[in-house]
Structure 1
Amino acid sequence: MEHLTILYRGPLASCDYDCPYCPFAKRRDTPQQLRADRAALERFTEWVADQDHRVSILFTPWGEGLIRSWYRRALAELSHLPHVERVAIQTNLSHRVSWTSGADPSKLALWATYHPGQVPYERFLGKCRELTERGIRHSVGIVGEPGHLEAARRLRAELPAGTYLWVNAAEGRAYSEEEAACWTALDPLFPLSRRPHASRGLACRTGETVVSVDGEGTVRRCHFVPAVLGNLYDGSFRDALAPRPCPQDTCDCHIGYVHLEPLGLYDTFAGGVLERVPALLGQM
């Protein structure tokens, strides 16, 4: 194995926001659940440190990870490992970003989402500008709800020119051509998110060079296919890694369809697949 990309999702399910479109809004983990999540993450971090092949990691917690010290510490520590090419996390940026000073900015990246109504606009924008000043790679996104359009337009106008603003289609929403055009004007790649991708039978990197791992170390090809390939910690997953077509009818999440080979998105996001930063940002 030369390089493995891991999507890690531990048991953490609590978040400090209460977005109406999220089932994990304002959910609280018990102290016991938080201890279990911390132990699982520390075990995973130790496993990555012991590897002798290149690794890239995207943390995709159900909740908000960066309000927890163990996620900030893990990201910083992993960024300094020579065989780790990229370590990234999906976050609402509610926590201060000064912790990034302890990380290697050439390895660390953040996938940030703005949630109108959950945080003052200026506070979120200030965090984005601070990340830029600190040299931390990041993308900024928003859910394409009708009520978010003006906030998205303001973000695009006021974010640093080099920051990619992505728009996720709201789940289950059918966009008119006029609505889609408004969102595409802000994010030229919005059409990728607008409709689920027919995926059954298509070649996909998941299960070969990309895997999903949970807090127990259970390895699956991705978050959206339940079949188990093995376990990370006993090494049983390694023999199961192989090219295989997608078994699902559709794939409608960026962290899934970005790995579908016929879409060619490894070229579109070359160098920024995990943090959702397009390679030709300046030409969009």
Structure 2
Amino acid sequence: MTVDLGLPGRRPDEHPLDLTVLYRGPLASCDYDCPYCPFAKRRDSPEQLRADRAALERFTGWAAAQHGDTLSVLFTPWGEGLVRSWYRRALVELSRLAHVRRVAIQTNLSCRTDWLADADTDAVALWVTYHPGQVPIERFLARIRELTALGVRHSVGVVGEPAHLDAARRLREALPDTTYLWVNAADGRSYDDTEAAAWTALDPLFGWSREPHPSGGRPCRTGESVISVDGDGTVRRCHFVRPPLGNLYDGSYRAHLAPRPCPLPVCDCHIGYVHLESLPLYDVFAGGVLERIPHGW
């Protein structure tokens, strides 16, 4: 279990929270070189890796101390987290805490999977992205089969680049029907109806990703029941709205949690717009919001 680092939990005079936390530490290195990603094949120095590990262990210690709250945690690293032992350990430790409802991570699944046997499969989940050209599809599918054998909840997806369509079709054909295959619209790309239909044939929910969603002035759960946290503990309402709400480790963020409209004109990332109250996606993904699994899939 996580070592007690002396971090504060909930004070007796504070109301318990049911909080979703999106954590993104300083890690920015990845073992893939996808041409559409600015972090492809980026290398963190040993000092940067040590800083990322210390930040993550501090966060895990904080989460373990929040006995009076209910937490759901999604790790959204810029780089690939699961090739680092401290991310694997964090998922296992957090999954085994009674007050953590779900702990998930976005990953390319290039790591081994045997460590997941130590996790609580009722709580742990993976949001897995397949990157054609970076890994042979047979190797990727073998890893997915390992997740299935371990009983680990997971979704699988691809970026909707035109060059990926054939590989995505092959992937959908090879995956069991019980595995949801999502498609993310490529950044800055517009899809005509023919292109959109091809992707929708693979992911019936592609329409939610196809165009940015108007968000300005609309209610959003971020800043109230959903927060973003960086490696220093700075709390923001989400990854895309920069003004801070306080700090996680001194508890100052709690006084600033409140309903508030989105200040940005549009939201074009799933981890952002899924929390918009003007969209029905909490019903669409009920029970699987963090790992991107539709309800009843």
Distance of 1:116 and 1:15 partners within structure 2: 15
- Name the counterpart of 2:35: 20
Q: Residues 51-71 of structure 1: CA distance to partner in whole angstroms, max 9, x if unpaired? A: 021000000000000000000
Q: State the shift of 1:133 in Å.
A: 1.1
Instruction: List aligned pairs for 1:6-155, cutoff 5 A.
Output: 6-51=21-66, 52-155=68-171
What is the root-mean-square deviation of aligned Cα atoms in Å? Answer: 0.6
Paired residues of 1:9 and 1:215 also in contact (CA < 8 A) = yes
Name the SS of the counterpart of 1:262 in structure 2: coil
- The aligned residue for residue 234 of structure 1 is 250
Distance 2:197 2:176 in 1: 23
Q: 1:164, CA displacement in angstroms? A: 0.3
Q: Unpaired segments of 5 or more residues in structure 1?
A: none
For residue 161 of structure 1, report the CA deviation from its aligned partner. 1.4
Give the AA of the match of 2:291: E
- State the partner residue of 1:205: 221
Q: Which residue of 1 aligns with 2:203?
A: 187
Q: How far apart in 1 are the matches of 2:231 and 2:78?
A: 12
Q: TM-score, normalized by length of structure 2?
A: 0.94
Cα distance, 1:280 vs. partner?
A: 3.0
Asked if the contact 1:109/1:138 (under 8 Å) is kept, the reply is: yes
Shift of residue 264, structure 1, vs aligned partner: 1.2
Using the size of structure 1 for normalisation, the TM-score is 0.98
Counterpart-to-counterpart distance in 2, 1:113 and 1:122: 15
* SS of residue paired to 2:252: coil
**Structure 2: how far apart are the matches of 1:192 and 1:83?**
31
CA distance in 2, matches of 1:2, 1:23: 35
Residue aligning to 2:6? none
Does the Cα contact within 8 Å between 1:268 and 1:280 map onto a contact in 2? no
Aligned to 1:162: 178
Consecutive unaligned residues of structure 2, counting only runs of 5 or more, are 1-15
Matches within 5 A, 1:238-257: 238-257=254-273
Q: In the TM superposition, what is the alpha-carbon distance from 1:2 to its structure 2 partner? A: 2.9
The number of aligned residues is 281
Question: 1:172 corresponds to which residue?
Answer: 188
SS, match of residue 278 in structure 2:
helix
Q: 1:4 and 2:19 equivalent?
A: yes
Contact 1:144/1:168, CA 8 A, preserved across alignment:
yes
Aligned residues with identical type, % of pairs: 73
- Matches of 1:37 and 1:156, distance apart in 2: 35
Look up the equivalent residue of 1:202 and give its one-letter code: R
1:264 & 1:191 partners in 2: Cα distance?
A: 13
Whole-angstrom CA distance in 2 between matches of 1:68 and 1:171: 27
Amino acid at match of 1:58: L
Q: Which aligned segments of 4 or more residues in structure 1 are displaced greater than 2 angstroms? A: none
**Whole-Å Cα distance in 2 between the matches of residues 145 and 74 of structure 1?**
32
